[in-house]
A and B are shown apart, each in its own frame.
Chain A
Amino acid sequence: MAAMRYAGLLCALAMCGCVGTESSSAKNSGGTLAISTGGDPDVLIPSLVQSVQAAQMTDMIYDRLADIGDSLNIVNDKGFVPRLADHWTWAADSLSITFHINPKAKWHDGFPVRSSDVRFTVASAKDSSLGSPVTPLITNIDSVSTPDSLTAVYWFHARSPQQFYDAVYQLSIMPEHVWQSIPPASWRASDAARNPIGSGQYRFLRWIPRAAVELVADTANYRGAPKLSRLVWSIAPDFQAAVTRFLTGETDFFEQLRLENLPEVAKHPELRTKQYHALQYSFVQFNLRDPAHHDRPHPLFSNRELRRALTMATDRATIVRSVFGALALPALGPTVRAYPTTDPNLTQIPFDLPRARQILDSLGWRVSTSDSVRRRNGRPLQFTLSVPSSSKVRVQTAVILQEQLRQAGVKMDVEQLDFPVIVEKDRKRTFDATIGQWNTQPSPGAVLGSWGIGGSRASSGNNHGSYENPVFDAYVDSALASFDPAKRKAYFTSAYETIIQDAPAIWLAEPSPTVGYHSRLQLATLRPDAWWIHIPEWWIPADKRIPRDNTPQSATPPPAQPAGQKTP
């Protein structure tokens, strides 16, 4: 937009016709992207985000040292593109990587990005008092040293094929001068968390709870100004309202269209849909520990045979067809078919209701005559499944599951809570069972964070069910240490088959999400792990603008200044 004004001024002064390459590229700048979403972000600190909305916003506000390419090649560094680091070099023994920070990189408050910021980010993520789910994933990084203000050296404990990935993917760099004076345990509730300062192509403007989050283009960004000048997340009270806002044109984008929405979208000629392959899988997670006393095993779910029986009583294929239609496949395990290391023919626990009943009988859970709920020593076979009320898919799955398990004599109560409460329950491990969904990472090694011993022992780890099997961990570690693709696949197969037979969860679905968008938007590639990552490249042709694309430039406020900071 600024370029447009400048071109206009030039024309006026020079009194010449203004047709040139300058204006035509300026023509494609500007515009507003309004995204319909069903809830607030949980927190705008990259190392703490759990919700997908928050991940979208922090990926726009903050930068990584390097980003993974669209092909999701995680081995070594060939597939990566520079971000905050404009180039890097490996040490001869591969135990350290030297990153050179782009000298033009600046924080949104004007301070330059320095290597001390990188060191600070890594150190804070390794600090267990922060409570970050990333902590167990960066154990291979020993520390970061800063020989000068534009050079950061990562030191590793061991070589591995995804060393580089571990170093750059997990962490977006945060400004030391903003966060160093705040103890990590207080980050979440601090004022700085409500006014995030990053180095990304969009800067934070405002967050009105339950209403909107707005980001504006950082026109002086070191990577260049993004094409769209404004990003607004329109937060609707529920799924139906969010879809309706998209259908009526109040917003331009909706990321999780369901099967039943597709005919409605088809009725609107100005709206389009696009399906893409994501790295998602969902599951019913059992808590293997007692929710009230974490040192004790769960009275029901610590028993492997019981978990297997519950899995056998579930007709997973039908659930997936009912809830998703053709938009999802049954999940194979804690993995996705997109990984080259995933064998699509993994042995599953079959759907076998009579056998499930047999197993339950043999465990001592007998059907009582009164209400057909199985009992053992007077205790009913009963548990509570907690689901976020905002996720229609999970609520629906829960009700179907309730009926299927009832036929096996199991009483499952469904508890609906807001997403942040579910996140808390997960974190504190105070649930009986819950339906979880991971947007998993490009690296299959991420499975250790959610199902490995490290993720279970760490209080902030993502292994909320506390499943611990050293055999599983060993297979995955061996896989990650192999440089031979065939061996990697073999190890992963053994790992997956181990965990599938242990049944710490009932593996549900692998969805292929469908997004809906306004036809005037020109989208870039929707990367499987993060469809939003290329938003800075999205644009709107000048002849397709609508009123909300043309907001007055004067409305953009000056960059945020954290309290007490000197100007650079």
Chain B
Amino acid sequence: MLRYLAQRLGQAAVIVAIVAAITFALIHLAPGDPFSDMMDNPNVNESVRQTLRAQYGFDRPLPEQFVRYVNSLAHGQLGWSISNQRPVLEVLGSALPNTLLLMGVALVGSFTLGILIALIQVARRGSIIDYTLSGISLFFFSMPDFWLAILTLLTFTYWLPVFPVGGAVDPVMHEYMGLGGRFIDRLWHLALPALTLMLLASAVVARYQRAALLDVLPADYIRTARLKGLTEREILRRHALRNALLPIISLVGLSFPALLTGAFFVEKIFAWPGMGLAVMSAIGTRDYPLVVGGVIIGSIMVTFGSLLSDLLYAWADPRLRSH
């Protein structure tokens, strides 16, 4: 197990290094050289500019630039965000917890809801409920993230003014609320974006879990359980679910990129102050260092997400555990 961990960690490190090479290529292939543009920008502090010059060494030959670049990445220097007047790592780092909160809540919610739907569908397979739920989950599965976000924002803030119009906290009142009030304020602002993201993701989970359950059900040990006299529900609960949960663990890792992309759109439309909103805002401001920083951090998140799920899988699967 430890050897597996070490192996996967090594792989992850290699992947991140290659991603660094990809972003380096992106930076240098971009026309107009947006990074070096910063060097002449009077809006940036002179001391900051000098640090950047030392880090990136734009007048040096390309291989040396790459070495400097990787070196600065390793030290956590992701560049300077012009539109925020702060280091990129600071901007993204302070925004990241908000994204993780959103994704975490949506992940838990979507897997719960998705598994539930799948169980219902399998328990009543072939019935009208099964087909209806299939249709609904297909509908949400095929929906573009931003469209659902626009619709939910419109429905629950304009037509039925239940939730607040975007943001993480009430800009006018939050600082003056008590501790309990602030908690509820945050919860109320989190609800709609998290619900939207959850809806999108649970469709994926429901479909995959249903397929996984249907695969497992004809298996030998299930037939034995049936012969033993267990009810369908007990079979589902005790045997099928546990074995179909294994693909769920790998699904967590696989759904990470999609969850991250969905979070980006949801954050933009709901003005949720996470990493997604920062990167989306960087599109309009042409803040290229911030965009590239987002790419790097996004891929690190995905890599470690899949690493985590691989490890969980290895730990959970008794077949793999035996060596």
Where the two chains meet, the residues of A that have a C-beta atom closer than 8 Å to any C-beta of B are: 32, 34, 131, 185-186, 188-190, 206, 208-212, 214, 232, 234-237, 241, 244-245, 247-248, 250-251, 389, 416-418, 420-421, 547-548, 551-552, 555
Contact = CB atoms under 8 A, between A and B. Distances in A.
17 contacts: A34-B172, A185-B42, A206-B175, A211-B168, A232-B171, A232-B172, A236-B165, A237-B271, A248-B157, A250-B164, A250-B170, A416-B284, A418-B285, A421-B285, A548-B172, A552-B176, A555-B176
Majority secondary structure, A binding face: mixed
Contacts of A189: 43-45, 48, 85
Contacts of B286: 417-418, 421
Nearest to A237: B271
B165 A248 contact: yes
B317 interface: no
A551 B171 contact: no
A234 B277 contact: no
Contact of A244 (B46, B157, B173, B284): B157
Given A189-B85, A244-B157, A244-B165, A32 B172 contact: yes
B173 A209 contact: no
Contacts of A209: 84
Nearest to A247: B158
B268 A237 contact: yes
B167 interface: yes
Contact of A234 (B43, B172, B175, B269): B172
B117 to A, nearest CB: 32
Given A210-B277, A417-B284, A418-B281, A241 B172 contact: no
Contacts of A548: 172-173
Interface string B176-190: 100000000000000
Nearest to B166: A241
A234 B171 contact: yes
Given A234-B172, A417-B284, 6 more contacts: A34-B172, A210-B281, A241-B166, A416-B284, A421-B286, A551-B173
A479 B44 CA distance: 41
Nearest to A33: B172
Contacts of A418: 83, 281, 284-286
Contacts of B48: 189
Leading 3 A-B pairs by shortest Cβ distance: A212-B171, A418-B284, A237-B271
B50 to A, nearest CB: 13
Given A250-B164, A250-B165, A210 B271 contact: yes
A448 B285 CA distance: 30
B266 to A, nearest CB: 12
Nearest to B171: A212
B273 interface: yes
A231 to B, nearest CB: 10
Interface size range on B against A: 20 to 34
Contacts of B269: 237
Interface in B115-166: 157-158, 161, 164-166
Nearest to A389: B284
A56 to B, nearest CB: 16
Contacts of A210: 271, 273, 277, 281
A420 B44 CA distance: 14
A261 B46 CA distance: 46
Interface of B: 42-46, 48, 83-85, 157-158, 161, 164-173, 175-176, 268-269, 271, 273, 277, 281, 284-286
Nearest to A40: B83
A234 B281 CA distance: 17
Contacts of B176: 551-552, 555
A247 B161 CA distance: 10
Nearest to B170: A250
A211 B273 contact: yes
Nearest to A32: B172
A310 B281 CA distance: 34
B271 A241 contact: yes
A170 B226 CA distance: 88
Nearest to B158: A244
Contact of B175 (A248, A250, A555): A555
Contact of A186 (B45, B158, B284): B45
B231 to A, nearest CB: 51
Contacts of B45: 186, 189-190
A237 B173 contact: no
B172 to A, nearest CB: 5
Which of B168, B170, B268 counts the most A-chain CB atoms under 10 A from its CB? B170
Nearest to B272: A237
B296 to A, nearest CB: 22
Contacts of A245: 165
Nearest to A209: B84
A250 B281 contact: no
Given A185-B42, A241-B271, A244-B165, A421 B284 contact: yes
Contacts of B161: 248
A186 to B, nearest CB: 6
A58 B169 CA distance: 25
Nearest to B48: A189
A523 B118 CA distance: 58
A447 B173 CA distance: 42
Contacts of B46: 186
B216 to A, nearest CB: 45
Contacts of A206: 175
Nearest to B271: A237
A241 B165 contact: yes
B14 to A, nearest CB: 36
Contacts of A248: 157-158, 161, 165
B153 to A, nearest CB: 8
Given A237-B166, A237-B268, A211 B42 contact: no
Which of A131, A189, A208, A416 has the most chain B CB atoms closer than 10 A to its own CB? A189
Contacts of B273: 210-211
Contacts of A250: 164-165, 170, 172
Contacts of B42: 131, 185, 188
A295 B277 CA distance: 39
A291 to B, nearest CB: 12
Contacts of B170: 250
Contacts of B175: 206, 214, 555
Nearest to B83: A420
A210 B284 CA distance: 13
A36 to B, nearest CB: 10
